[in-house]
Each structure stands twice: as structure tokens, then as C-alpha cells.
């Protein structure tokens, strides 16, 4: 089993920044791709950014140039730096990890951007 714990959400004004963190613990041997998803009320969960431990990253078009995903291998931690936030970024952000054929999810952290 892999446990994921997110932190760093909160309330920010439009144009501001937040940094989310996700720490993976438990049986993390074979931990593969880690990603951030988000879900706004009444919408489907969508992929925001992904990171592979080989260093490959991918971003949703809506966040390219504003969000940056990075990782600290030694700490099994993935970060999401979010800059130039807008009200459209308001959502619950979830950390996801793919490990030995299974998907794991964190509990989510709320990000609210006021206009």
C-alpha cells in the first residue's frame, strides 16, 4: 500500500501563487508516475500535471506556462508550483501515484482563487 498526503492548498487572490506538496509513504518500491489532478464542483476530475521519475513532465494546456511540477526523489515528494492563479483554477487538487500496477490517491486539498 502507498499513502499520499497533500498539503499547501488554501485561499489566494487572483494572480497569486500556491505550492502544493504530496508525500508518498508506505511500500513505495516501484513508484512510477506521480501526478496532480483537480476537480471543480460539477465537473469531472482532470489531469493537471504529471511527473515520471525519469524526469518527464506533462501539463494540461490550461496550466502550461503557469504551473510547474517537480519532485524530490529522496523524500518521495512531488510538488506543484502554481503561479498566476485565476478563479478557473479553483478546485480540489488530488495527488495520484502509479505504483506496481495500482493507482493511489490522496485525500485532496482545496484551492480557492478569489477574483
pLDDT at residue 54, as a whole number: 81
pLDDT at residue 11, as a whole number: 98
CA distance 97 to 43: 21
The DSSP symbol for 63 reads T
pLDDT at residue 32, as a whole number: 86
pLDDT at residue 53, as a whole number: 78
Which segments in the chain show pLDDT lower than 70? Answer: none
Give the three cell numbers for residue 71.
519532485
pLDDT at residue 49, as a whole number: 98
Amino acid at each position: 500500500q502507498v499513502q499520499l498526503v497533500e498539503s499547501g492548498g488554501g485561499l489566494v487572490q487572483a494572480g497569486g501563487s500556491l505550492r502544493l506538496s504530496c508525500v508518498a509513504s508506505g511500500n513505495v518500491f516501484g513508484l512510477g508516475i506521480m501526478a496532480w489532478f483537480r476537480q471543480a464542483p460539477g465537473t469531472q476530475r482532470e489531469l493537471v500535471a504529471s511527473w515520471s521519475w525519469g524526469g518527464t513532465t506533462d501539463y494540461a494546456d490550461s496550466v502550461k506556462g503557469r504551473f510547474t511540477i517537480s519532485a524530490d526523489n529522496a523524500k518521495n515528494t512531488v510538488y506543484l508550483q502554481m503561479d498566476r492563479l485565476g478563479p478557473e483554477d479553483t478546485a480540489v487538487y488530488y495527488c495520484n501515484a502509479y505504483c506496481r500496477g495500482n493507482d493511489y490517491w490522496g485525500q485532496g486539498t482545496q484551492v480557492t482563487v478569489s477574483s
